[in-house]
Amino acid sequence: MQFKSSIRTAGGVDFVTHTQSGISGNHFNSNDMNPGFNSLSGSSCGPASINTTGNGTDCHPHGLDPPNFVRNRRDLVSMRSSKYSPKPATPMPNTDELEKRFTKVLASMDLPPDKAKLLKQYDEKKKWEIVCDQELVQVRDPPSFYLKKLQTYLDPKASRSFKKRKVVGDSTSTQVLKDLEISLRTNNIEWVREFLNEDNRGLEVLVDYLNFRLVMLRHESKPSPEHDGGFSKDRSSSPNSGPQSYSNGTAGGGGDGNGVGPKSIGSHSPGTINKRTSKHLSKLNMGDAKDDIHVCILCLRAIMNTKHGLNLVMLKQEAINAIALSLKHKSLRTKGMVLELLAAVCLVQGSHQLILKAFDNFKEVCCEKRRFETLVDDFMNYESFHVDFLAACIQFINIVVHSVDDMNQRVYLQYEFSQLGIDQYLERLKITPSEELRVQILAYLDNVFDVAALMEDSETKNAAVERVAELEEELSHIKEMYQKLDSESMSKHLEFEQKLREITEERDYLLSKQKEINEEVTTLRRAVTEKEEEKKSMMARLSQNITTVVDSVETDAKSPFKSKSPNVDTAPLMKATTCPTPPPPPFGGLPPPPPPNLRGGPPPPPNFPGMNGSMTIKKAVQPKCKLPTLNWTVLKPREVKGTVFNQLDDSKYYNMLNFDDFERRFKIGTAGGLDKSADDAETDGGLSSFPSKPISRRKLDLSIDVVIRAVNALDLTTLKHDQVEVLQRMVPTEQECKLYREYIFAKRNPELLTEEDKFLYQLSRIERISTKLSVMAYIATFNELASVLQPQIHAVIQASRAVRTSEKFHQVLEIILAFGNYMNAAKRGPAYGFKIQSLECLSDTKSLDRRQSLLNYIAETIAQNFHQLKGFMNELQVIEKACTVSLENVLSDLHDLEKGMELTKKESEFLKQKNEVNTVVRDFLVNSEDRLLKIKNESKTAVSDFGECVEFYGEERQQTDTTGFFSAILKFIRAYKQAESDLEQRNRMSRNQSPIEAVNRVTGKKNQADAVINELKRRQAPETTKKVQEAYHGALEDILSDLKNEPYRRADALRRSQRRKVNERLSRNFDDLEI
pLDDT in tens, 160-190: 666 667 667 777 888 989 998 998 888 878 8
278 band by pLDDT with thresholds 50, 70 and 90: low
Whether the predicted pLDDT of 564 surpasses 50: no
- In this prediction, residue 296 carries a pLDDT of 94
Q: Among 633-647, 676-690, 819-833, which is the least confidently predicted range?
A: 676-690
- The highest-confidence range among 213-227, 642-656, 672-686, 755-769, by mean pLDDT, is 755-769
579 band by pLDDT with thresholds 50, 70 and 90: very low
Cα pseudo-dihedral 10, 16, 22, 26, rounded to 10: 40
Describe the chain by its helix, strand, coil percentages, rounded to 5: 65, 0, 35
Cβ atoms of residues 494 and 683 within 8 Å: no
Whether the predicted pLDDT of 1034 surpasses 90: no
**Is the pLDDT higher at 439 or at 283?**
439
The pLDDT > 70 percentage for the chain reads 64
294 band by pLDDT with thresholds 50, 70 and 90: very high
431 band by pLDDT with thresholds 50, 70 and 90: confident
- In this prediction, residue 548 carries a pLDDT of 86
Cβ atoms of residues 103 and 129 within 8 Å: no
1063 band by pLDDT with thresholds 50, 70 and 90: low
- In this prediction, residue 325 carries a pLDDT of 92
For residue 262, which of 250, 251, 274 has the smallest C-alpha distance? Answer: 274
d(CA 879, CA 873): 10
- In this prediction, residue 356 carries a pLDDT of 93
- In this prediction, residue 245 carries a pLDDT of 39
What are the residues whose beta carbons fall under 8 Å from the beta carbon of 878, sequence distance 6 or more? 795, 798, 799, 802
Q: What is the mean pLDDT of residues 667-696?
A: 40
SS3 of 348, please? strand
Q: Among 407-421, 445-459, 721-735, which is the least confidently predicted range?
A: 721-735
- The highest-confidence range among 591-600, 708-717, 1019-1028, by mean pLDDT, is 708-717
What are the residues whose beta carbons fall under 8 Å from the beta carbon of 790, sequence distance 6 or more? 935, 938
- In this prediction, residue 280 carries a pLDDT of 67
- In this prediction, residue 161 carries a pLDDT of 67
Q: Among 29-38, 463-472, 747-756, 1033-1042, which is the least confidently predicted range?
A: 29-38
Q: What is the mean pLDDT of residues 431-444?
A: 86
823: left (phi over 0), alpha (psi -120 to 50) or beta: alpha
| Residue 858 CB neighbour total at 10 angstroms | 19
| Residue 348 CB neighbour total at 10 angstroms | 24
d(CA 252, CA 843): 77
Whether the predicted pLDDT of 243 surpasses 80: no
298 band by pLDDT with thresholds 50, 70 and 90: very high
Inter-residue long-range contacts of 584-589, CB under 8 Å, 24+ positions, other chains counted:
none
For residue 106, which of 181, 206, 244, 9 has the smallest C-alpha distance? Answer: 9
In Å, how far are 625, 831, 847 from 663, measured between CA atoms? 7, 19, 9
d(CA 712, CA 776): 10
Reported CATH class of domain 4-252+262-422: mainly alpha
Residues in the chain: 1075
Give residue limits of the domains in the chain. 4-252+262-422
Q: What is the mean pLDDT of residues 347-359?
A: 90
d(CA 306, CA 11): 9
651 band by pLDDT with thresholds 50, 70 and 90: low
For residue 884, which of 967, 785, 782 has the smallest C-alpha distance? Answer: 967
d(CA 264, CA 237): 10
393 band by pLDDT with thresholds 50, 70 and 90: very high
**Is the pLDDT higher at 202 or at 585?**
202
**pTM score, two decimals?**
0.42
For residue 860, which of 822, 904, 903, 815 has the smallest C-alpha distance? Answer: 815
Whether the predicted pLDDT of 997 surpasses 70: no
**Is the pLDDT higher at 950 or at 1047?**
950
Tell me 237's DSSP state: G
258 band by pLDDT with thresholds 50, 70 and 90: very low
Query: What would the pLDDT profile of 326-345 be if each residue is shown by its tens digit?
Result: 998 888 999 999 999 999 99
Whether the predicted pLDDT of 506 surpasses 80: yes
Q: What is the mean pLDDT of residues 545-552?
A: 84
- The highest-confidence range among 206-215, 576-585, 836-845, by mean pLDDT, is 206-215
The residue type found at 431 is I
Whether the predicted pLDDT of 27 surpasses 80: no
CA angle 290, 294, 300 (to 5 degrees): 140
Query: What would the pLDDT profile of 47-102 be if each residue is shown by its tens digit?
Result: 333 333 333 333 333 333 433 333 344 344 334 433 334 444 678 888 888 888 88
Please state, rounded to an integer, the average pLDDT across all residues of the chain: 71
Q: What is the mean pLDDT of residues 432-460?
A: 84
Whether the predicted pLDDT of 1039 surpasses 80: no
d(CA 138, CA 6): 9
3-state secondary structure 949-976: HHHHCCCCCCCCCHHHHHHHHHHHHHHH
1031 band by pLDDT with thresholds 50, 70 and 90: low
Query: What would the pLDDT profile of 953-996 be if each residue is shown by its tens digit?
Result: 888 888 888 888 888 888 888 888 888 888 888 888 877 754 44
